[in-house]
Structure 1
Amino acid sequence: MVQNVTLIATAAMGLESIVSKEIKQLGYEAEVENGKVIFQAPISAIPRCNLWLRTADRVKLLVGKFKTATFDELFESTKALPWEQFISEEGKFPVSGKSVKSTLYSVPDCQAIVKKAIAERLKLKYGIADKMPENGAMYKVEVAIHKDEALLTLDTSGTGLHKRGYRVGQGEAPLKETMAAALILLTNWKPDLPLIDPFCGSGTIPIEAALIGQNIAPGFNREFDSEDWDFIKQNVWDEAFAEAEDLANYEQKLDITGSDIDHKMIKVSNDNAKEAGLGELISWKQMQVKDLFIRKGNGYLIGNPPYGQRIGDKKAVATIYRDIGIIMREHPSWSVYIMTAHEEFEKAYGMNATKKRKLFNGFIQTNYYQYFGRKEGRDA
């Protein structure tokens, strides 16, 4: 019986430290590498991490790693791993792969060899003479080879963790839910303070803020492939969901507003919030940025405005940045956090940021410009 496992939480470049902090808050010690966070934990960490990690892309279970420079080595080393501890007799186990700077550069060949090796191991262990039935639970295998070292994992999440289950509509370039959560967690915002997103699009930042504000597990309303895995007993999942329910603070009052110039996106945002069960917690307004009116003395503005990457948009986008800068300089107690790829954002905004952090929004390199609000001479 498997009791402890090595897990890998994958993350977008630049978010590894935030994912690591989340994992440590769940009670597990973690080691950060490029694009991933590795940690040892009991089986119960699989449901808990899938339910609670707001900024990770996936949670993978490490089955084994080894050096390999030939197809024979890949086959034999894969076959030597204890696949029967994880994959049931009826389990489906499709194999995906990637290879970087390695002798074995043909990914389709590597996938086929790993598939065959796992099948041979399982047939031997389960006493199956013919081919594996593969009509049961899903076990997605990945073989990742980097500099002749193979990493073989099982994907415990299934659909990526950014798929919270509440997005019933979206705009042209929606911000990933995991990135939206990261933008919030990179601030010192607390749920008793106002939060405004004046570029809300389909509402991702305000919705993620509401989930954080009420301590609602982001994976509470979705399913995971590992829920069907035999070696994780149902009571382990039941306990994880019960913990999530117990820790949610549905009574926490919130002051969160999302606005956008497009009335269609306001409807989409409202629909998404209702799907998330947060329909009464967030205010939505259709308006231009220049009409933003700050009523409270202290709060946070967090936004992912248009970047103006098309030449014809640059002037219009610079005007938006200028407008928001003019408004927020009148409210120095507010903290402002803006993510954009626009290289002259600070010039348009009218002030240099207190701090900048490089982030990748998909494949777009951005800066997260941070302006810390002041209250009685201290950070807001």
Structure 2
Amino acid sequence: MQTVTLIATAAMGLESVVANEVRDLGYEVQVDNGKVQFDAPISAIARCNLWLRSADRVKLVVGKFKATTFDELFEATKALPWEYYIAEDGQIPIIGKSVHSKLYSVPDCQKITKKAIVERLKLKYGMISKLPETGALYRVEVALLKDEVTLTIDTSGAGLHKRGYRIGQGEAPLKETLAASLVLLTNWHADEPFIDPFCGSGTIPIEAALIGQNIAPGFNREFASEEWTLVKQKHWEKAFEEAEDLAKYDQPLNIVGSDIDHKMVEIANQNAMEAGLGDLITWKQMQLKDLTIKEPNGYLIGNPPYGLRIGDQENAKLLAEELSSIWQENPSWSIYILTAFEKFEQGFGVKATKKRKLFNGYIRTDYYQYFGQKIKGESS
């Protein structure tokens, strides 16, 4: 069986989450900053794109080598078997980055990489004129780190956070991959109550519902590698069949998303309908202080306003105080809050059981985790 080397890219702080997901698919991994690398059959390209909830992209590694001159970059790139991966009519845009390397000019590295690939493909395909580049997309990245060159092809196309269900959003939408990670970092199970009182466009509750019913997050979208000759149609068909077989569409869910803005609640409902979740999630327009919890042993997960602007700090502190009151009244619940408000623990009045540094886009945040004391013998 032909194997390939793949990289699942991860936002800073989420490498372990991505690694666990890849392991769950049956592949052994090496974890590094911002990525998880693993060897797997070609069929894994389809499975990983369909199933990975927390990864940003899945990249195919074509080669790694050291280069300190443009000649070395050109010759080593040309020596790689590009014809095995790229069809003769493939579109080959080149992106690049260079960190702490002698070859620091990214545009020059991109040009040389493109020239080397084109010359290799023309030679192998017996072409004299330039490549047509009218077929499938093969976006190549040349990445240099301390003179070590890694050449990859993006198998995903649009980033994996683009699930295909978001038809509306607010001013600061949470990426679907981050929202899924927030859920995966908890011990929540599908048979337990789940509330997001700052739901915005509904991303966290929707991702929780997809997790709860074990629905593959990529089930409703397309990927660049679906058009490749390398990944056979049978691989995709089998991956989609597996996703359909493993989905638990009859799993009941008790998920509530609420927001102070009725327009956002409407958008969240529309997004949930687009995701095929229908009436599985309950949407409410309400303020946090009006939240009442009746069930034991649930999870509250949210991404409240951060209070980054002067004048908003008081509101962020008030929300932290209200969340603390909710926890005091419902100590069997676990509360998980992602925020950039640095005085959150001070407002909450209790130091978090656990805290994890994450990034929401370019904003440094903390994921405050308060573990509830579950009531024994109670079913949720």
TM-score (norm 1): 0.98
Deviation by residue 1:33-84 (Cα, 9 ceiling, x = unmatched): 0000000000010000000000000000000010001110000000000000
Structure 1 partner of 2:200: 201
**Matched position secondary structure for 2:253:** coil
Paired residue type of 1:182: S
Give the stretch that moved more between structures: 33-42 or 315-324: 315-324
Counterpart CA distance in 1 for 2:193 and 2:29 is: 33
Q: Which amino acid aligns with 1:77?
A: A
**Which residue of structure 2 lines up, in the alignment, with residue 111 of structure 1?**
110
Name the residue aligned to 1:248.
247
* 1:126-165 mapped onto 2 (5 Å cutoff): 126-165=125-164
| In the alignment, structure 1 residue 102 sits paired with structure 2 residue 97 | no
Instruction: Please state how far the C-alpha of 1:279 moved relative to its aligned partner.
Output: 2.0
Deviations 1:210-252 (A, max 9, x none): 0000000000000000000012110111000000000000000
Distance (Å, rounded) in 1 between the aligned partners of 2:303 and 2:68: 44
Q: Counterpart amino acid of 1:161? A: L
Q: Which residue number corresponds to residue 306 of structure 1?
A: 305
* C-alpha distance in 2 between matches for 1:92 and 1:375: 55
SS state of the match for residue 316, structure 1?
A: helix
The answer to whether the aligner puts 1:17 opposite 2:43 as a matched pair is no
- Root-mean-square deviation (CA, aligned residues, Å) is 1.1
Q: Distance in 1 between matches of 2:230 and 2:337?
A: 44
**1:312 alignment partner, SS class:** coil
Q: Indicate whether 1:68 and 2:104 are aligned.
A: no
Partner in structure 2 of residue 275 of structure 1: 274
Partner in structure 2 of residue 191 of structure 1: 190
Distance 2:101 2:242 in 1: 43
Deviation at 1:153, TM superposition (A): 0.2
- Could you tell me how far apart the structure 1 residues matched to 2:196 and 2:375 are? 25
Residue aligned with 1:66, SS: strand
What is the Cα deviation at residue 297 of structure 1?
1.5
After superposition, what is the alpha-carbon deviation per residue over 1:301-355, rounded to whole angstroms, capped at 9, x for unaligned? 0001111000110011111111121122110000000011111101111211111
Q: Secondary structure, in 3 states, of the residue corresponding to 1:315?
A: helix
Pair 1:177 & 2:173 matched: no
Corresponding residue SS for 2:311: helix
User: For residues 353 and 161 of structure 1, what CA distance do their matches in structure 2 show?
Assistant: 31
Contact 2:296 2:375 in 1 (8 A): no
Which contiguous aligned blocks of 4+ residues in structure 1 show a shift greater than 3 angstroms? none
What are the equivalent positions in structure 2 for 1:221-300 lying under 5 Å apart? 221-300=220-299
1:224 maps to a residue whose letter is F
TM-score normalised by L of structure 2: 0.98
**Quick check: 48-57 or 314-323, which moved more?**
314-323
Opposite residue 240 of structure 1, the aligned amino acid is A
- How far apart, in 2, do the equivalents of 1:287 and 1:118 lie? 57
Answer whether contact 2:297 2:375 (CA < 8 A) is retained.
no
Give the C-alpha shift of residue 26 in structure 1: 0.2
> Which range moved further: 361-370 or 197-206?
361-370
The one-letter amino acid paired with 2:196 is: D
Q: Which amino acid aligns with 1:126?
A: Y
What's the offset of the Cα at 1:377?
7.3
Uncovered stretches (5+) of structure 1, i.e. residues with no partner: none
Range 360-369 or range 178-187, more displaced:
360-369
Task: Give, as a single letter, the amino acid of the residue that structure 2 aligns with 1:117.
Answer: A
- Specify the SS of the correspondent of 2:110: helix
Q: Which amino acid aligns with 1:70?
A: T
- Structure 1 residue 346 corresponds to structure 2 residue 345: yes
- Conserved 8 A contact 2:67-2:147: yes
Q: Does 1:374 align with 2:373?
A: yes
> 3-state SS of the aligned residue for 1:375?
coil
Distance in 1 between residues matched to 2:315 and 2:225, nearest whole Å = 47
SS across alignment from 2:312: helix
Superposition deviation, residue 376 in structure 1: 4.3
In structure 2, distance between residues paired with 1:16 and 1:351: 28
Aligned partner letter, 2:239: A
Distance 1:230 1:294 in 2: 53
Secondary structure of the structure 2 residue equivalent to 1:373: coil
Aligned match of 1:213:
212
Amino acid aligned to 1:168:
I
Q: How many angstroms does 1:5 deviate by?
A: 0.1
- What is the percentage of aligned positions where both structures have the same residue? 70
